[in-house]
Chain A
């Protein structure tokens, strides 16, 4: 499960750039987990997000 705290998201797009599976896309300046089923739980986005807005749970 990919959870994004939309209030924290500042729309920097780092998660979109860094996710090896292309899970994220930007929509109206907020990150959205459009391909959530592709997530391979590498947790990379958690550490990439400068606002610590993303949480991955299995």
Chain B
């Protein structure tokens, strides 16, 4: 069997290996859709290593633009820029392709300044009013796909890919969920797909590589409660027909944006390689090479997938955002250097806010050249206080710039709050460790002196006389004001440390920071009641709103039969019962054995307040400033490290 490092032929082109950069909307092109220097620099780094680079989903016409600063292939003015981009990728040794799509109702009126167009009037989000495309308009849309494909060929790319997944226009036509009420020939769900594939193939000719990215299944009955596209029809009907028209690869993804995020953007709770079995189904039936995608970040897993013949090529999207050199490092066998993606989905959260994509782990993302670490002009003695993500990143960056850095940590090991956040017994958040683990490995390679089990006092700072101090002391848990008589009170962090004794009936106070604990406890077989003062749950800063992490949590709270009480406060505790009162004054009694308090975190900033007044160069980073997430801790610390 071939390995992932072996060449492969797709259509008429040879790829040097089977790593693929999956199409990723980076949302940092110019507003008219043209390429800028950020895009070029970004691809210059990413194209070093993998065999094929598929450039982000690009819009075929203005009415199909889904994101404010998405790449465009919608008119001939874009060809110059695309040519530059193809050049950059090909000079790095990879083959270059562009993915094209019409967003349909994935677009929003705020970007388009006109109503969103779609297959039917059925909206994706409440409040959206899509206007169905007329038959002539659909023909026009198809023609624009073909024209865009021709432009890509003209710009010098090696291939083109059709975006028919995750809810763009092609899948809206294909899905019984959306294609309702039409009376023309596009009421047959596959007409649009086949006509687009045919038109694109005709536009680029038989010798140009042309692939299709498909949502093989929509998890219809399972997630939508409504029939969707099924694996059977995709594998037995759609793909064989497209093979007859002439496609060179099938890129097998799954799910729909906004409906089944757990499958198209598997968050950290999902197992790695969550969609490989879908690619395997396709691989069994079809003759064209199959690309698999979805939480593939580990070298062993990637090698095994290709060796076992479950897929021909392996695409990575978020792992490449986290570490653009991941393929190169795998090829060179530098496994430990890889900064493995957390699947925290911060990238998707900011993308759906229509901002340029950022990465928790990779503060360079989108600013590869601008943020390059350069030697410091004046070398300083730097004291970093705190061995969490913020402290480690500040120490690493400062040390790479030549400073003499000492890192102090009060506990016995590095990692800070991540050690706790990744320790839910029955909820997989273990991936969070990837960042502090990677930082700790990198810090070890530098000259940073790490001092463990040492708590810093203002006196010690006075004695050491550093030139610059970075305070990254993190956060502590907020105490809850509980009524008299409340017993068996434990705090979330004790539960995560494994030191809490927890009875059978648990009342979790705090529906934001406590929700993950509620799921984990319920899976351990406890009877859990989740009590929240506010009107909404799961709004903790680290459960990014659009990051595909809230939806599965809601589902699991439901599945595990957790009683959720919002707008309830604790009024009294008597014996083994808590009296709760809602905003209307209605009282409710809940029996409990243990109260788990998870009302939030507050910054641990006493030390900063004590030493910042002494007229020294003192920086405050991460949760010590305000209790937020790893993103801010890492990015602020990186910023400070670059500026000391």
- Seen from chain A, the residues whose Cβ lies within 8 Å of a Cβ on chain B are 18-21, 38, 40, 42-44, 46-48, 50, 52
Contacts and interface: CB of A to CB of B under 8 A. Distances in A.
B427 A47 contact: yes
A40 B430 contact: no
Nearest to B271: A44
A19 to B, nearest CB: 8
| Main DSSP-derived SS at the B contact region | loop
Nearest to B273: A20
Contacts of B298: 40, 42
Contacts of A21: 300-301, 304
A43 B428 contact: yes
Given A20-B273, A21-B304, A44-B271, 12 more contacts: A18-B271, A19-B271, A21-B301, A38-B304, A42-B271, A42-B430, A42-B431, A44-B272, A44-B430, A47-B424, A47-B425, A52-B425
For the complex of A and B, 6 pairs with smallest distance between CB atoms:
A43-B430, A47-B428, A40-B298, A40-B300, A20-B273, A44-B271
Nearest to B276: A20
A42 B272 contact: yes
Contact of A40 (B272, B523, B525): B272
A48 B271 CA distance: 10
Nearest to B437: A58
22 contacts: A20-B272, A20-B276, A20-B301, A21-B300, A21-B301, A21-B304, A38-B300, A40-B298, A40-B300, A42-B272, A42-B430, A42-B431, A43-B430, A44-B272, A44-B430, A46-B430, A47-B424, A47-B425, A47-B426, A47-B428, A50-B523, A50-B525
Nearest to B426: A47
B308 to A, nearest CB: 9
A42 B301 CA distance: 10
- If over half of A's interface residues share one DSSP class (helix, strand or loop), that class is named, otherwise mixed; here it is loop
Interface string B247-279: 000000000000000000000000111001000
A20 B271 contact: yes
Interface string B417-430: 00000001111101
Contacts of B525: 50
A42 B298 CA distance: 9
A46 B520 CA distance: 12
Contacts of A40: 272, 298-301
Contacts of B424: 47
A47 B304 CA distance: 23
Interface string B577-602: 00000000000000000000000000
Nearest to A47: B428
B441 to A, nearest CB: 11
A50 B522 CA distance: 11
Contacts of A38: 300, 304
Contacts of B304: 21, 38
A19 B426 CA distance: 15
B529 to A, nearest CB: 21
A40 B301 CA distance: 7
A44 to B, nearest CB: 5
A19 B271 CA distance: 8
Nearest to A19: B271
Interface string B284-317: 0000000000000011110010000000000000
